[in-house]
Structure 1
């Protein structure tokens, strides 16, 4: 089988993990190739995600690389078993590989932490709000409709049989940034309060008075799988978004998110009555903005 020219995020990540383990074990590519009875080029293709490695061979490779049994070992094996065929393949007519990679990454995550400084995060958007955001950058109405449909489908990770835990920190600026009509904004802010009723969803607002922090102006998502070594940071960019896998960078973004959470207002609790708010929290701020639209 010829090497694939455009491996998916999962395939690239699996290859990167195998390369990391090989180097940690002090083995050269030639030594790994000799163990598998293959040439050096095959090892290179495996480590860049361009070709697959069978389950039996992967098990042998992990043991040869001194990877101990445990959650990480099992998670790497599971990554190799997945075929990448999910609901997102229904959108190949419009959504490119990067978008489908994002949906697959979300589907295998158990916890998602996101910080958004200018717009409401996609996972919490109403269809009208999403459509207004997308039509601002997409000139073809039909494509914008399809993108919005895709964004709504991605939200199933919050309500599926085993929903992911979701924690969003949204800058106050996103509440004031006009997207669509005032009615669209009111419905969107109401949606924020409604979705916060889900036991797996936490919403915090980062207020203007909290001032400047290292990451307060940068949008990012941390995808957690339950195995910290396999977490991923997603940095959104208009032309070329970035995925970070390096352990030091993962730790740094986790610390930044924790600090943002400390500086943000208390999480939305839609069950509490407005008169019970002795001090300003995320819910009271969202309500204030909604009522002034």
Structure 2
């Protein structure tokens, strides 16, 4: 089978992790090729995610690289033999590769830390809000409903996270998407979701002033082991997935700073009247009142 020309993010990430382990073990590509009874180009294709490595071959590699059996070993074996087939495949004809990769990553993530400065995050959107957002940026009406359905299907991942912590800027609450009915329904859904025990939702208020270092959205995905954490950033025509530990640590510090400056999260265990004054719930309720 010829090398694939467009590997998925999962395939690229597996190859990158194998390259890291090989480099740490100070093994050359030729040594790995001999171990696999393959040629040097095949090793390059494996590390680029363009070809798969057989289960017994991967086992040999991980042992040769000094990766002891444990969480990382098991996670890499699972990544290699997960063929990436999921509900997102049926949308492959209308969704960009980056969107399919994001859905697959969400399905595997253990935790999520997300910052959003301008719109309600996709996993928290109502159907009407999602339709209004997508219709404002996509002109292909023929596929609009399938794009909306894809976004709603992604929301199934929310129940599988051990932790979902999101910091949303107040501007996302006040930016009018659709009419006031759409916005009220959306804000009520935020309150509902924020009461889930594994969800922590905070609002970053206007009163905190400018925060230019954090003006872009980003998502930190926690993997089954720290080595498999992922930073995701989306741009107008592309997306970035990176497992670079230094960048992930940088954005983790950013997120901690944002969370420390944001209003207190909604306490799922407290009754509405027992919520702290000037917290995220009080601001959400204030915006709801203004939308009457």
Alpha-carbon separation, structure 2, partners of 1:207 and 1:30: 56
Alignment equivalent of 1:262, drawn from 236, 260, 263: 260
**Aligned positions, number:** 291
Residues 1:102 and 2:94 aligned together: no
Cα deviation code 1:207-239 (max 9, x no counterpart): 112233354311001111131110111101110
Cα 1:34–1:67 change in 2 (3 A) is: same
Secondary structure, counterpart of 2:114 in structure 1: strand
Are the aligned partners of 2:98 and 2:238 in contact in 1 as well (CA < 8 Å)?
A: no
TM-score (normalizing by structure 1): 0.95
Aligned 1:51-66 pairs, distance under 5 A? 51-66=51-66
Give the match for residue 240 of structure 2: 242
Secondary structure of the 2:16 match is helix
Partner of 1:282: 280
Offset at residue 255 of structure 1 (A)? 1.3
Task: With the length of structure 2 as denominator, give the TM-score of the two structures.
Answer: 0.96
Q: In the aligned structure 1, how far is the partner of 2:34 from the partner of 2:93?
A: 42
| 1:7-26 map, 5 Å | 7-26=7-26
CA displacement, residues 109-142 of structure 1 (integer Å, 9 cap, x when unaligned)? 0111110000000010001001111001111223
Q: Secondary structure at the match of 1:166?
A: strand
Matched with 1:119 is 119
For 1:152-171, what aligned pairs fall within 5 Å after superposition?
152-159=152-159, 162-171=160-169
5+ residue gaps, structure 2, are none
- Aligned residues of 1:170 and 1:204 also touching (Cα < 8 A): yes
SS class of match (2:57): helix
Where do 1:12-51 residues align within 5 Å?
12-51=12-51
Following TM superposition, by how much is the alpha carbon of 1:82 offset from its aligned partner in structure 2, in angstroms? Answer: 0.3
Report the alpha carbon displacement of residue 33 of structure 1 after superposing the two structures with TM: 1.1
Q: Aligned to 2:187, which of 177, 186, 189?
A: 189
Please list every run of 5 or more consecutive structure 1 residues that lacks an aligned counterpart in the other structure. none
Asked if the contact 1:158–1:200 (Cα under 8 Å) also holds between the matched residues in 2, the reply is no
Which of the residues 164, 170, 173 maps onto 1:172?
170
